[in-house]
Structure 1
């Protein structure tokens, strides 16, 4: 038996605002959209590989997204952590941790919260990208 994580779905408060952020700031395009009776949805995936993310605006939802305690953070691999960090902050993300090169691993990371409050870890590998993880520096 083989299992592969295909995509995950997160709720957003404003689908068009979230799509604009992920496409124009992060650089991951929408590959499909759908509307169902209860939600408007968009699926995003990099043309360079990796998983797919579905954004869903629940039509009955009002107010901010209830983060609860189940979701911790979403990793975004990049070839330039500092530049992507600057773009996210300019787009309105809240700074949690500015870009820093870690001593324990050969990476630079930064943490921001997006416009719905999701914690994003921006990560740039300097060597040894984990097996199976697309390396943005090789694109």
Structure 2
């Protein structure tokens, strides 16, 4: 009987060793699978970040091109604005000269007329 017990004990140890080996193998497989999935996720993340960075760079380049184009357009408009402003200044100067000539003529008439008062002025404060 002692021999049978020893055989049972050996079989039990053998069985436990196989179970331990299987457990270690399954854990290793699970760890390898998880590692591969984590690597895959990291690779995906890096690819997505790179794609976004490229998109951002492309947008920045496009914005720079648009900025340059708008700058050129606005620089072309500056001489037009200056020309319009100069024309308006000339018009005001011409009106000022005409008004000055008109005032001088009225002044000459008033000087030539002995009893004339300046136009649009009241001789008495009550009227």
TM-score higher than 0.5 here?
A: no
Compare the two structures and name the one with the higher helix fraction: 2
Compare the two structures and name the one with the higher strand fraction: 1
Larger Rg: 2
TM-score, normalised by the number of residues in structure 1:
0.13
